[in-house]
Amino acid sequence: MSDVKEKIKPIVDFFDEVGKKLDECKEFEFWKFIDELDQLKEKIPDERVGKVEENVVVKGKLFLGKNSVIKSGTYIEGDVYIGADCVIGPNAYLRGTTLIACENHIANSEIKNSIILKGSKIPHFSYVGDSLIGKDVNLGAGTKIANLRHDGGNIKVSVDGKKVDSGRRKLGALIGNNCKLGINTSVNCGKIIASNSKTAPGEFVK
């Protein structure tokens, strides 16, 4: 097990760095962490400590941590890290370079090129793309995060009251620690949702 810990240390250290930034409870240029995913995918070990049920498709490198399970019908397309004590599926769709920390639950939802910190839940019919999800977040059923402008232009993000060009054509949202989003919440691309926020069912977060 010590060998496994050494292999995943760069990813664990990255989670710690992101977590410390979120713990400051300040707005920041979160997309810079998303930008790092292309380099981090090279450091994802292709090793499965947890359990993969039948009828799971994996196309890419997969690290699956201790006591984690990927349930039947899940499709993984890309290089994906899943920490310990996670439940993925049934029928989840994970793609791009996606990093999922420990104690997360993701069911029949789509996660693309995103970072999800410890203890969050994305259980039913949600879409999370090019986003950073903090610790202990719950996305109500049907939550959707936009990640593309209609005109295809770069996504601009409001950081401390100033519009900042992310330089990215595709960018979702930063959802801070301990946020609870009601069912069918829609989140606009480039949105920062502060830690401990809540949304009503059907709310559009501009």
Tokens 């810079």, residue? 32
Q: Phi/psi at 20 (nearest 5 deg)?
A: -65, -40
| 159-97-10 Cα angle (round to 5) | 85
Q: What spatial distance separates the first Cα and last Cα of the chain, rounded to whole Å?
A: 45
* CB contact set of 154 (below 8 Å; sequence gap of 6+): 165, 166, 167, 168, 169
Residue 67 to residue 103: CA distance in whole angstroms: 10
Residue 35 to residue 199: CA distance in whole angstroms: 28
The amino acid that residue 184 corresponds to is: N
Tell me the pairing of strands 156-159 and 162-165: antiparallel
How many CB atoms sit inside 10 A of residue 167's CB? 13
Residue 145 three-state SS: strand
**Residues designated as active site:** 124
